């Protein structure tokens, strides 16, 4: 489970989320010193490396950094609308912020993780709600609304350091994305159901593991002490949340991109294959080839 520290510095034995299990406030101190973040997750601090507070929660963010950066670069090279470049960069920004947060457990790095989640969610909303417009059309009113929303959330969160506020806002954005996606695959492009449902299922699985990590932290920590380190790493469900939400978000961008390509009547379709190996992502509107990570490759033709 995570610990909520409230005002900084954190009191030693206090847990504000009493409906979650309580855990010891500190594991050990490392390179970055005493945590100043308002949250600290279930992984034991500095258990693997003196320089990384939460090792597995940190390195698991690679899945949200490398493939989206390649996707953004390839999308830009192929002249695809800038909104999709920004969507890929949004995922990468969350990955970089999350890496810094879990590596240091410093409050400033926590903001670098959490605020880009809101910003990237707004970019995703723009992509999926503006998919049925003429090419190179820009909806300035929607951009203004989403920008105002992001700024408002940022200002409130900087003053009111309440993690639940951030989580509720992020949940609202995800709900809007899900509802819009379900509408599209139900009434407009039912042939894209497989991609949409895969994205949603992967994300929901990650969310389930995130909750298990919160609710059963003490049990998970006890189990890790009785098994080899690599086996214990498989119980780092917050790290798995990073991997699964990174994959789910990546798939959602591909889903939005495929809607756009289909609407503009470019010849392309998405085919999902499972294999061992890696390749990357879009080549062009008419010929898109790509991956995701070691076991999942998405081929576009």
Signed CA dihedral, 222, 223, 227, 231: sign only = negative
Among 201, 58, 174, CA closest to 117 = 174
Distances (CA, A) of 69 to 14, 87, 147, 281, 284: 40, 10, 23, 10, 16
> Is residue 102 annotated as involved in ligand binding?
yes
- Length in residues, the chain: 301
| Cis geometry, peptide bond prior to residue 9 (ω within 30 degrees of 0) | yes
Beta partners for 272? 298
Among 65, 128, 113, 116, CA closest to 254 = 128
Distances (CA, A) of 268 to 62, 126, 156, 196: 29, 22, 43, 16
> Is residue 56 annotated as involved in ligand binding?
no
How many Å apart are CA 203 and CA 285, to the nearest integer? Answer: 26
Q: Residue 284: which region, alpha, beta or left (left: phi > 0; alpha: psi -120 to 50)?
A: beta
Going along 189-291, which residue ranges are E strands? 270-274
> Is residue 113 annotated as involved in ligand binding?
no
How many Å apart are CA 68 and CA 66, to the nearest integer? Answer: 6
- Residue 15 backbone dihedrals phi, psi, to 5 degrees: -130, 115
Distances (CA, A) of 236 to 39, 60, 97, 219: 16, 10, 19, 12
| CA angle centred on 174, ends 103 and 20, rounded to 5° | 55
> Is residue 40 annotated as involved in ligand binding?
yes
Binding site: what residues are annotated? Answer: 40-41, 43, 45, 54, 102, 238, 242
Binding site for Ca(2+): what residues are annotated? Answer: 40-41, 43, 45, 54
Binding site for Zn(2+): what residues are annotated? Answer: 102, 238, 242
């Amino acid at each position: 489970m995570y610990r909520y520290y409230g005002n900084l510095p954190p009191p030693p034995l206090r847990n504000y989320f009493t409906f979650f299990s309580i855990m010891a406030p500190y594991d050990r101190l490392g390179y970055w010193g005493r945590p100043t973040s308002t949250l600290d997750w279930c992984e034991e601090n500095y258990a693997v490396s003196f320089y990384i507070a939460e090792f597995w929660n940190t390195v698991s963010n690679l899945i949200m950094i490398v493939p989206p950066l390649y996707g953004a670069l390839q999308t830009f090279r192929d002249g695809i609308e800038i909104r999709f470049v920004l969507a890929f960069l949004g995922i990468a920004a969350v990955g970089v912020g999350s890496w810094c947060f879990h590596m240091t457990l410093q409050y400033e790095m926590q903001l670098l993780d959490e605020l880009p989640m809101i910003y990237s969610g707004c970019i995703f909303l723009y992509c999926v709600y503006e998919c049925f417009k003429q090419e190179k059309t820009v909806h300035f009113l929607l951009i203004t609304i989403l920008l105002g929303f992001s700024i408002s959330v940022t200002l409130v969160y900087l003053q009111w350091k309440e993690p639940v506020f951030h989580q509720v806002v992020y949940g609202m954005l995800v709900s809007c994305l899900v509802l819009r996606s379900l509408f599209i695959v139900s009434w407009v492009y039912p042939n894209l159901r497989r991609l949409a449902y895969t994205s949603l299922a992967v994300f929901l699985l990650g969310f389930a593991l995130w909750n298990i990590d919160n609710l059963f932290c003490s049990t998970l920590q006890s189990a890790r002490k009785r098994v080899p380190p690599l086996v214990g790493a498989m119980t780092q469900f917050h790290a798995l949340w990073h991997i699964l939400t990174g994959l789910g978000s990546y798939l959602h961008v591909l889903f939005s991109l495929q809607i756009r390509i289909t609407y503009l009547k470019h010849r392309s379709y998405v085919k999902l294959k499972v294999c061992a190996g890696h390749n990357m992502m879009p080549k062009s509107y008419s010929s898109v080839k790509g991956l995701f990570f070691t076991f999942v490759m998405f081929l576009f033709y």
